[in-house]
Amino acid sequence: MRPSDPALDALLLPLRDGVVAWPRAGGALFIGARAGAALHALPMPGLVCVQPLKPEAEALERAGFEVAVEAPAGRFPLVLLLPSRQREQARAQFARALQRLAPGGVLLAAMPNREGAKSGEADLVRLAGPMQVLSKHHCRVFWTAPLAAPADPALVEAWSGLDAPRRIGDARVPGGGFLSRPGVFAWDRVDAASLLLAGHLPPDLGGRVADLGAGWGYLAGQVLERCPNVTAIDLYEADANALALARANLEAWGANVPTAFHWHDVAAGLPARYDAIVTNPPFHGAGREERPDLGRAFIAAAAAALQPGGRLWLVANRHLPYEAALGAGFGSVREVAARDGFKVVEAVRAR
């Protein structure tokens, strides 16, 4: 549970103050739900939380809430929404939230000001009509009137698929392209850090390999393309949407070794042992703030999961302070390459 979550705190203010009433029956749907103290301040009978990120989903489950990766069928008299920072995905979330709204229901959303709150409000106005608005905690909270139907049903239908999976062409990946969708990391390109790491993967990397924070599968595909001695590969990814894409991509690219896909929070540790691990660890949380603790947790998990003499190949922004974590977990550490603000590191676990 976060010690502070301004967007969540702001979102629940209209409920706390009685401006928006909790439904007497039918419960509520919370898209983009996150655990936090504000979520426990009011009784919320019938709340269903939608969250595809494993750490967030587990925190909600520990707090006693019902959690799903995707919104269940049916309609709700109240829909809560913490939209994505990614514009196309946020528009799709607004549209699908309205599709889940029962006649006479209310959609309530909140966004941080520095993450496009005014644009988000304007988008929802286009779909649903005039809003009520308040500002608090450097966030903007906006909600619809009780709606018999959206103001623009055709636009709702069009926007509901804006974050649907699609084919992205890129000659730098196996098969010349990949399946992706707005909202996952580097959804429309191969990110520069992963590209740098892939270009320095040693051909003698072999045995059982893991890709931590696998995203839509680029690095795992490159391991299989460049390292013929790999006998099995496991992909670990916290975003269920990205993991589904990785599964589709590796199947399309013709992975010819046993391949497993794990919806998993790497920071919690790994359930198996490996001869080698590759990773481009995340360094942002839900917002814009840097989270070097995430990268350090990935390094610690890798060190614990590698066999003696096992090798970690990591890429990261040059300024991120990972040296102490690498030194604590590995017998030897060397910088292999540096370019465009990134560094590639090989770390070997002591025998």
Domain count, the chain: 2
pLDDT the model gives residue 188: 95
Gap between the Cα atoms of 107 and 142, Å rounded: 8
Q: Are residues 135 and 242 in the same domain?
A: no
pLDDT, position 285: 65
- What CATH number did the domain enclosing 37 receive? 3.40.50.150
Q: Are residues 124 and 230 in the same domain?
A: no
CA distance 212 to 214: 5
Same domain, 69 and 131: yes
Per-residue exposure over 123-144, b if at least 16 CB sit within 10 Å of its own CB, e if not: bbbbbbeebeeeeebebbbbbb
C-alpha 165/C-alpha 180 separation (Å) is 5
pTM beyond 0.85, yes or no: yes
Residues 28 and 51 in one domain: yes
In this structure, the answer to whether residues 149 and 186 fall within a common structural domain is: no
Three-class DSSP labels, 121-132: HHHHHHHHCCEE
Residue 90 is predicted with a pLDDT of: 98
In a domain, 1, yes or no: no
- Residue after which a domain boundary falls, among 130, 159, 188: 159
Least confident piece of the model among 96-100, 168-172, 291-295: 291-295
Share of the chain above pLDDT 90, in %: 91
Whether residues 154 and 177 fall in one domain: no
Q: How confident is the model at residue 4 (pLDDT cuts 50, 70, 90)?
A: confident
Q: What is the pLDDT of residue 137?
A: 93
In a domain, 337, yes or no: yes
Listed range (180-184, 211-215, 256-260, 319-323) with the worst mean pLDDT: 319-323
Q: Which of 159, 178, 195 is the last residue of a domain?
A: 159
- Predicted local confidence at residue 175, as pLDDT: 84
pLDDT at residue 207 tops 80: yes
> What's the rounded mean pLDDT across residues 134-160?
97
Residues 176 and 138 placed together within one structural domain of the fold: no
pLDDT at 133: 97
**Mean pLDDT taken over the chain:** 95
- CA 144 – CA 141 distance, rounded (Å): 11
Are residues 294 and 147 part of one domain? no
Q: Mean pLDDT, to the nearest integer, of 36-61?
A: 95
Domain extent, residue 291, equals 166-348
pLDDT of residue 336: 97
Q: In this structure, are residues 98 and 107 in contact, taking their beta carbons and an 8 Å threshold? A: yes
Rounded to whole angstroms, how far apart are CA atoms 180 and 248? 10
Mean pLDDT of all residues in 44-68 = 97
